[in-house]
Amino acid sequence: MDRCRVQCYEYPSCPEPVKAPREEVAYVTCTYRETGIDQPDFLATVDLNPCSPTYGQVIHRLPVPNLKDELHASGWSTGSTCPDNATRKWSKLVLPSLISSRIYVVDVGSQCRTPRLYKTIEPVDVFWTCNKGYLNVPRTLPNGDILIANSGDAAGHGKGGFIVLDGETFELKGNWEHESEVPPTGYDFWYQARHNVLVSSAGAVPRIAGRGFRPEDLKKGVYGRRLNVWNLSCRSLTQCFDLGEDSLPISVKFLHNPDAAAGFVACALSGVIYRIYKCEANNWAVEEVIRIPAKDVTGWILPKMPAFTVDLVISPDDKYLYLSNWFHGDIRQYELSKHCKPRLVGQVFVGGLLLRCGPVTVCRDEELKSQPEPLVVKCKRVYGGPCKLQLSLDGKRLYVTNSFYSTWDKQFYPNLVKEGSALLQIDVDTQKGGLTVNKNFLVDFGKEPNGPCLAHEIHFSTGDSTTDILA
């Protein structure tokens, strides 16, 4: 790796600004698992048009036919393999279930404000065809097929890799990777087609992590440490990077510029962000570029509370990187352009475990002088920590939910489970950097007709900053 290391990475010129209308509708996955409410999960449609009388409200709910699926990640089937954004159709949304391993395909193209269930793939088909389970992130491949990452097998033992759906019929085609190259765990992935590369992260062993976070599981191999580099066309594993014990690499994103040979990986338990880049021929290297220090605390399950960075997004112009820190409670904005390493230019707290007057006391903090205040928006106290992020195509509005995984929500944020999730909007200064909570926007999932629920993934009806990777 040392001979591949470069002193300063020259970022490619920024992509052309995305010509797309402002987001008017968001689709949010919502679950009732672990809430004590015996209702099916649903896909919420949220009105994001400021001129609409229902702005900031859930205008439609599509319940799935089964209980306790845990709708978690979601992703688009574009209906087109053409890289031209103008010809794409954001017509089908794929919803894998994290716990049941059931897959739902939702038609949002016919009526974007009132989606309907288009197809269901049952867990038994996933188990028998692929010997996979605990499904997570779906994305469209360059050939139009849908690739879905998984974390385990049917019994919940660690088993990474991917399953493939036909992009037109949504029939289950089988496993993507070769059987001899299955990683021990899996979670997220991203690819750059022009460099013929796919990078996947590690995740955790579902059977054990599903019981909650336990300190005794640390150093037992429950939480993954590998970053995997694949040959995209050959579907073969070419490199593996060991990022350290219990690093738990989760979120992976490449720069949007299709010529760029660089991306970033967020490690949840270590609080480290790595840059992965192409260094020579077809070899890739990693280097640490951000480290968020742990806090010395009392009143928590460990004497040090690590940064738990569960999501990252990159602005469509590749200028900024955003991180969500679910334990500490902050969202961070880093400038990428013209700097050898990302530079922190914005930070805002929207909850977390470190709040003043809470059960956790910070004894030593390398970054903050005092514990942050609780967040109240439109008279609602916001519980939980920032989790999934979605950025508008003009880069000016960052949306965030606060549920990570129902079992861990219940353990760390019992009030979140009791009061329900929130969808927040963070206003972004795209010129100088800076983040501000928009106090006029709140989607309160604590007021759902069937009771408070937990909200996770966010996508926009016209495409978004975590979708456009086909080129």
Q: SS in 3 state form for 178-194?
A: CHHHCCCCCCCEEEEHH
Under the banding of pLDDT at 50, 70 and 90, the label for residue 338 is low
β-sheet with 197-200: strand ranges across: 189-192, 197-200, 226-231, 236-242
The percentage of the chain sitting over the pLDDT mark of 90, rounded to a whole number, equals 86
> Which residue did the predictor score with more confidence, 349 or 8?
349
Residue carrying the six token digits 């408070």: 452
Under the banding of pLDDT at 50, 70 and 90, the label for residue 5 is very low
DSSP string, 31-78: E-TTTT-----EEEEEE--TTSTTTTSEEEEEE-SSSS--B---EEE-
User: Could you give phi then psi for residue 215, rounded to 5 degrees?
Assistant: -55, -30
- Decide: 146 and 138 in contact? Cβ < 8 Å: yes
DSSP letter (8 states) at residue 158: B
Beta partners for residue 162, in sequence order:
149
At 412, is the secondary structure helix, strand, or coil?
helix
Under the banding of pLDDT at 50, 70 and 90, the label for residue 441 is very high
Q: What is the mean pLDDT of the chain?
A: 92
Under the banding of pLDDT at 50, 70 and 90, the label for residue 32 is very high
Distance from C-alpha of 251 to C-alpha of 281, rounded to nearest angstrom: 25
Beta partners for residue 391, in sequence order:
398
Under the banding of pLDDT at 50, 70 and 90, the label for residue 228 is very high
The region of weakest confidence among 89-93, 144-148, 153-157, 222-226 is 89-93
At 461, is the secondary structure helix, strand, or coil?
coil
- Decide: 254 and 263 in contact? Cβ < 8 Å: yes
Residue type, 176: W
Beta partners for residue 253, in sequence order:
264
**Secondary structure of 7-35 as H, E, C letters:** CCCCCCCCCCCCCCCCCCEEEEEEECCCC
Per residue in 45-75, pLDDT (tens digit) is: 999 999 999 999 999 999 999 999 999 999 9
Distance from C-alpha of 115 to C-alpha of 284, rounded to nearest angstrom: 41
For residue 189, the tally of other CB atoms under 10 A from its CB is 21
Per residue in 384-409, pLDDT (tens digit) is: 999 999 999 999 999 999 999 999 99
CA neighbor of 70 nearest in space, from 312, 412, 444, 410: 410
In Å, what is the CA distance from 45 to each residue of 224, 260, 330? 34, 34, 26
pLDDT at 88 over 80: no
Distance from C-alpha of 182 to C-alpha of 176, rounded to nearest angstrom: 10
Distance from C-alpha of 23 to C-alpha of 331, rounded to nearest angstrom: 21
Under the banding of pLDDT at 50, 70 and 90, the label for residue 322 is very high
Q: Which two tokens stand for residue 14?
A: 């920024």
Q: Which two tokens stand for residue 296?
A: 């010395």
- Dihedral over Cα of 185, 150, 202, 236: its sign: positive
Q: What is the mean pLDDT of residues 113-120?
A: 97
Distance from C-alpha of 445 to C-alpha of 68, rounded to nearest angstrom: 18
Residue type, 141: L
